[in-house]
Amino acid sequence: MSLSWDRAGLTALVTHEDISKASRAPPTPDAPTPILALSSQSRAKGYDGLCLPLTTESWKKRWMNMCLLPEGMEEAAGIAAEKRAEAWRARPGFLLNEVTLTQLDEAEGVIALVSEWLELDSNDDWVRHDAEIALQQELSYATYLNIHTAILPPPRSREHLASYARVVNACLKASPYMHISIRLPIYNPSVLESRVPPGGQSPSSMVASPPTPRLVVSDDRGAETTSANLDGTWEMWDVIRSMCDYNTRLSLTLDLTPPLPVNSGFLSKWKAEAVRHLFLPASTFIANTKGYPVLPKGTQSFIRDSITASRQFASTMAEPDEDQNLASPKYYPGWRKSGSSQSRRRSCLFTPLMDNLQSVTYQTFEQDPVKYHNYEEAVFHALLDWPGNGRIVICVAGAGRGPIVSRCLNAIERAAKDAHVYAVEKNPSAFVTLQTRKETEWEDKVTLIFGDMRSTEPVEKADILVKVVIGSCPVADSAADDGISIPSSYTAHLAPLSSSKLYNEARGRKDEKGLETPYVVMFQAVNLLSGDGECTQGRCGPSIQECWEFEHPRPDAVLDERGLPLTNSHNVRSAKLNFFIPHAGVLHGLAGYFEAVLYGNIGLSIHPQRKDRISKDMLSWFPLFFPFKEPLYLPSNSELQVNIWRLTNQRQVWYEWHAENFLNVNAPPSPETEMPPRSPALGNGAFFSSPRNIPSPLVDAMPMPADIFALDPRRSEAGTRLIKIGHTSLHNPGGRSSWIGL
């Protein structure tokens, strides 16, 4: 699955003042209306479209006169206003002077800004009710004009955020062709708190246009911004998108007005969200050494990462500032086209041991020069280290179309060794390609064997066994009982992951299997939730932790007369991992990474912290994504415990996974959770006093330690307690939804 980024663009933000100014200019044949004139001007300057308010101040005034009754209004006037309001509620609609757009050609390429004075989270129930009707009216008119995207003002109150989210969800259902984006500042939710003036009147009646949310900076330079301040806005977004059931037509418009924090861990969480637009006010720019306005490097980096990460990124909305000459997009750096060649791939696990791969699949893997170069280097060094000068037998197990066979021949020539290559392949179609290459390239240097590498009788014993690792799914199959095995070991690594996009794609199958299937994915819009910080008593490991390892040859495996294991039970693995969660986030799944030691110090790796040192720019391996059926909220400074199992029978290999999260509380246990002392009156262990001592299998059983049901003895030490706050279900039990065929 892939998608290009050519549609990411730069949009000019148009205000009521801009529209009023354009309306005073005489019309021209090419721009007969103010909106068309503004559109023409912006495109001439290099912008890709307009983002403008859909309604005028006249609509705001009429709505306020109908729906906001000031204190002290005469009864007759109040009744008349209520009649007008009821008539409007029954049949909502605009008058001509209440909208900025009236024609289809005006609306082409336009992103609509919903009226900022609409308070969907007002403290007043009636204000919320009428604001919802007005919002539905605006979205209906935008749909009429074939406008596909509308940006809603941010919530003003955390107290009534649920009401805001409910309205958004209702609008998504009522407008099935409209994409709704929520404008939110990147952090500091305190600036969004509702400030209701005395008398209960709405703030919308006090100001013409609410200011852009801005950061309130304390004079105390030494004070650090708390995690709650940083996470608060993201938590608002999490509530909204969760109540809207992760609707794919709901996205974020991130307001970059506040200065970006230095904390990269905080910023990375936004990369995993559905960011569709970025808002850049003129105040975001700073002057460089030559006096030209530029974006700070941190902001440039964040924009570039957002474009690369989000599949649905559409535009950056810029606020031109004539004083700083920012009307031209030439001051916006090259991030507009960054990531244009990036793509996302998502597929289920390959089953090369059970199924025969297509030629195009082999071709995709063979386009990776790094992987096959490292294989050649591994074989080359193994040949150099081989003792003696006798004939060396190399067996390529799962030769496919033969790329590693060719690399083995290159290594033999470089090492100047006497060696012969056997190529074993069970795919009858690929075996035809091998025969062609033997006839045209390899001749008698290679012997071809058709059959399954696990059951084929070897012609002669292999000194060096080379196994091809397909994609991101290393399979621990048969290996040489002595000699050299390439790869010599595999390790699997895991990390908790947040990605609303991957979660939505996984559940797109509309059945349970979609969320119990591991996927091979090229990660982009993801955020690893774990950190390297130490939690209490050192229970947590690093941000990415090793699950298990496979070694070849395995000395403790029981083998038959052919040197093959009697069963596949030696490949069963399990891991219990503890992760520290430094910043609040939503767990959508687990990221699985792999690393293989080919020979000596030569390997292959997609471990994020090691891949550039081991196999930089390798293209044919991608991580695994293990989804969870229900997102799990993880508060900051919490702990996540992950259990994962790799299970097998004679026909299949499958994964099962489960997670629990805990919060560390620095408080003594409450009296309700402490074990009550044993009553002296119940000396025989009975729960109630009774004249008869009837034996009970529970009461009269051998005494058990008091902490047998405790999570961990270390977790109940003085001053700290771990409180469980959530868990997931067990995923894919028995391989019911996904498995790898053997």
Average pLDDT rounded to a whole number, residues 56-68: 94
Residue 130 near residue 63, CB atoms below 8 Å: yes
Q: Is 550 or 314 the better-scoring residue by pLDDT?
A: 550
Measured torsion, CA atoms of residues 615, 618, 621, 625, in degrees rounded to the nearest 10: 90
| pLDDT above 90 for 436 | yes
Place of tokens 């906001």: 68
For the segment 195-211, what is each residue's pLDDT rounded down to a tens digit?
444 334 443 333 333 33
Options 3.20.20.150, 3.30.70.520, 3.40.366.10, 2.40.50.140; CATH of 15-212+226-263: 3.20.20.150
Give residue 657's pLDDT. Answer: 97
Percent of the chain with pLDDT over 90: 49
Q: Is 188 or 160 the better-scoring residue by pLDDT?
A: 160
Q: Phi, psi (5° rounding) for residue 587?
A: -80, 115
For the segment 114-137, what is each residue's pLDDT rounded down to a tens digit?
999 999 999 999 999 999 999 999
Average pLDDT rounded to a whole number, residues 101-107: 95
d(CA 680, CA 453): 70
d(CA 496, CA 580): 10
Give the pLDDT band of residue 157 (cuts 50, 70, 90): confident
Give residue 195's pLDDT. Answer: 42
Give residue 407's pLDDT. Answer: 96
Give residue 666's pLDDT. Answer: 73
| pLDDT above 60 for 349 | no
Task: Tell which residue, 207, 189, 212, 125, has the closest CA to residue 160.
Answer: 125
Q: Mark the binding-site residues for S-adenosyl-L-methionine, compressed into ranges.
A: 362, 371-372, 425, 452-453
For the segment 698-736, what is each residue's pLDDT rounded down to a tens digit?
344 444 444 444 444 444 445 578 899 999 999 999 999
Within 606-708, strands assigned E span: 624-634, 638-648, 652-665
Q: Which two tokens stand for residue 45?
A: 């300057």
For the segment 574-620, what is each residue's pLDDT rounded down to a tens digit?
999 999 999 899 999 999 999 999 999 999 999 999 999 999 999 88
Helix, coil or strand: residue 636: coil
Residue spans of the domains in the chain: they are 15-212+226-263, 359-486, 492-590+607-613+623-667+728-741
For the segment 17-53, what is each residue's pLDDT rounded down to a tens digit?
999 999 999 989 888 999 999 999 999 988 889 999 9
Give residue 347's pLDDT. Answer: 56
d(CA 281, CA 212): 9
Give the pLDDT band of residue 335 (cuts 50, 70, 90): very low
Q: Mark the binding-site residues, compressed into ranges.
A: 362, 371-372, 425, 452-453
Give residue 607's pLDDT. Answer: 95
Give residue 269's pLDDT. Answer: 85
pTM of the model: 0.79
Give residue 567's pLDDT. Answer: 74
Helix, coil or strand: residue 294: strand
Identical fold at 15-212+226-263 and 359-486?
A: no
Average pLDDT rounded to a whole number, residues 390-405: 93
d(CA 475, CA 573): 12
Residues 249, 251, 257, CA angle at the centre, nearest 5°?
155
Give residue 689's pLDDT. Answer: 38
Q: CATH homologous superfamily of domain 492-590+607-613+623-667+728-741?
A: Hnrnp arginine n-methyltransferase1 (2.70.160.11)
Question: What is the residue-averaged pLDDT of the chain?
Answer: 80
List CB contacts of 184: < 8 A, sequence separation 6 or more: 154, 233, 236, 237, 252, 253, 254, 255
Task: Tell which residue, 41, 73, 544, has the closest CA to residue 320.
Answer: 41
Q: Is 572 or 351 the better-scoring residue by pLDDT?
A: 572
**CATH numeric code, 359-486:** 3.40.50.150
Give residue 555's pLDDT. Answer: 66
Give residue 97's pLDDT. Answer: 96
For the segment 214-234, what is each residue's pLDDT rounded down to a tens digit?
333 333 333 344 555 577 889
Give residue 205's pLDDT. Answer: 39
